[in-house]
Structure 1
Amino acid sequence: MKKAGLVWLSWQGRRAVPAWFATVDGQYVVLADRAASAEQPLPGLADAGSAEVVVPAKPANNQLARWTAAVRRLEPGSEEWTAAALVLRTERLNAAGLDTQLDRWRSEADILVLEPTGAASGLDDGSPYAPPVGSPATTRGRKPITLHRRVRRRPKLS
């Protein structure tokens, strides 16, 4: 977690989504948007109670570790909330409106602590790939005959 810039979070059977985080006094803290603003949309994470955290390795197609976390919401305005918000503020890249950022977070977002509840598992626990999302889209029929084949006869250029 020390070298990861973001983690993938999944909760309540949802598909995993990326989330940036910060480490505050040995705890992992994420900012979850409560309203429809543009901070970090993680709908329902504050009420989930637990989430699965996947830490990606530097090659983006590998996972380094996977662990389950208990999700705890910090009360806005508390001393713990203020300390976490100040650290998250330094980790937030390309932030707009720095002078009103903490007030916006107090009213429109939740600061959540991810507390590990069990042992982390590594790469040997099965495939890291998720099954594709179901879709009503289908193929129209047979593939065209010329798909991935070279043209045998080339037209004359003169």
Structure 2
Amino acid sequence: MTNELLARALVEEATKKSGLIWVRGGVLAADGGDDAAPGPTRALWHVWHEGAACVVGDGPGEQPLPGLVDGGDAVVTVRSKDKGGRLVSWPARVVELAPESAAWEAAVAELKGKRLNAVDGEAMPGRWARECRVLRLEPAGSPGGLPSGSLAAVPVEAPVTTRGPVPAALPRLLWRRRRPR
């Protein structure tokens, strides 16, 4: 019982303090291991609210939520805020909140405060109700152990990733020597 409480506290505190979580949607393996979910892993901004990580997305100008379906499973990986290294991975159950419900209103009130660079400001909750999904990622079991592999993955293809020539001044800026004073 004590180990379960400590694991739950680790999940909650690490997720509260991290600005990003890495989420992979899909079907979990029977042992809840990291290599069980087949979908892509995405970095998502979130808030911790009433025992779950809440995220908003799948609308114009919002983060994509691939593989996250109501009633489905996911694996959430939390990184350290100061060092950026992986702290814990935990299995989650995905719950989609109905727009304008009491739970949706409470989650959106928290999410609204953390949303950066919103173009519509105070009209944002209305847009989220019409065009987006608000999901709760509820912890569903104990965190898994550390993986044996590196978890390195090929970046997800996107039209915004381009490779261009290095600016001519960059080598001079990076490699110039400082003059002694």
TM-score w.r.t. the length of structure 1 is: 0.74
Q: Structure 1 regions of 5+ residues with no counterpart?
A: 134-158
Are positions 1:88 and 2:111 aligned together?
yes
What's the counterpart of residue 2 of structure 1? 16
The count of residues paired between Structure 1 and Structure 2 equals 129
- The AA in structure 2 aligned to 1:14 is G
User: Which residue of the partner structure matches residue 40 of structure 2?
Assistant: 15
The percent identity for this pair of structures is 36
Matches within 5 A, 1:131-146: 131-132=153-154
Deviations 1:93-143 (A, max 9, x none): 111111220111001111111111111135x3322423547xxxxxxxxxx
Counterpart of 1:26, as a letter, is G
Matches of 1:107 and 1:130 in 2, distance apart? 36
In the aligned structure 1, how far is the partner of 2:21 from the partner of 2:137? 11
Of 100, 120, 140, the residue aligned with 2:123 is: 100
CA distance in 2, matches of 1:108, 1:132: 30
Match of 1:126 among 141, 148, 156: 148
Which of the two has higher C-alpha Rg?
1
Q: Which runs of 5+ in 2 are unaligned?
A: 1-14, 27-37, 156-181
Contact 2:52 2:139 in 1 (8 A): no
Cα offset, 1:48, TM superposition: 6.6
What is the letter of the counterpart of residue 19 of structure 1? L
Of residues 33, 39, 43, the one that matches 2:62 is: 39
CA–CA distance in 1 between the matches of 2:86 and 2:97? 28
Matched with 2:30 is none
Q: Which whole-Å deviations, capped at 9, do the CAs of 1:49-86 have from their partners, x for residues lacking one?
A: 111100012323x2110011000011101111011101
